[in-house]
Structure 1
Amino acid sequence: MHFQGLILGAATFLIIGIFHPIVIKAHYRWGTGCWWVFLILGLICTGASLAMADTVWSALLGVTGFSSFWTIKEIFEQEQRVERGWFPANPRRRKRQ
């Protein structure tokens, strides 16, 4: 039996699930100014994915990289969710004008 598909499916589910609270926490702590961290992480992971010989690890790095790219979009959408009152704003962080 080959378990690679199940491993990739479960790991992808976990990676995407982990990035959801990361978006909320990162926005609460740093606002939209942290988007570049996810860009760098995404570039590193996708570059490592291209260099990886093992298919499973290459796929997992690719999923992590593109989830990081998607997080950039979500960080800016989180800003709108906070403005609508769906999520709490950080009272210690000043809003940029």
Structure 2
Amino acid sequence: MHFTGIIITVITFLIIGVFHPIVIKTEYYFGTKPWWVFLVLGIICMIASVVVDNVILSTILGILGATHLWTIKELFEQEERVAKGWYPKNEKRTSNNTNK
């Protein structure tokens, strides 16, 4: 029996589940300023996925890289959700206008 598909599915599900609160907490505490961190990590994971020989690890790194890149989009959308009042705004953050 081959468990590769099941392993990748479970780990993908876990990665997505972990990144959901990461987006919320990042926007709450830092705004959208650290978007570039997700860009760098995404690129690193994508490059690593091409270099690694193991199929499962390569796939996981590719998924992790894509998730980091997708997080950039979600971070800016989270800012919009906060502006609409769907999520709490961090009043203690020094700059709530995070796009500048």
**Equivalent runs, 1:33-52 vs 2, <5 Å:** 33-52=33-52
Give the Å deviation of 1:5: 0.6
Q: CA deviation at 1:25?
A: 0.4
Q: 5 Å matches for 1:11-22?
A: 11-22=11-22
CA distance in 1, matches of 2:89, 2:2: 47
CA RMSD of aligned residues (A): 0.9
Classify the secondary structure of the residue corresponding to 1:59.
helix
Q: Structure 1 length as normaliser, TM-score?
A: 0.97
1:17 CA displacement: 1.0
Gaps of 5+ in 1: none
Q: Which residue of 2 aligns with 1:23?
A: 23
Tell me which protein shows more helix as a share of its residues: 1
3-state SS, counterpart of residue 62 of structure 2: helix
Q: For residue 88 of structure 1, give the secondary structure of its aligned residue in structure 2.
A: coil
Q: Which runs of 5+ in 2 are unaligned?
A: none
Say whether 1:3 aligns with 2:9: no
What TM-score does the superposition give when structure 2 sets the normalisation length?
A: 0.94
Shift of 1:95: 1.9
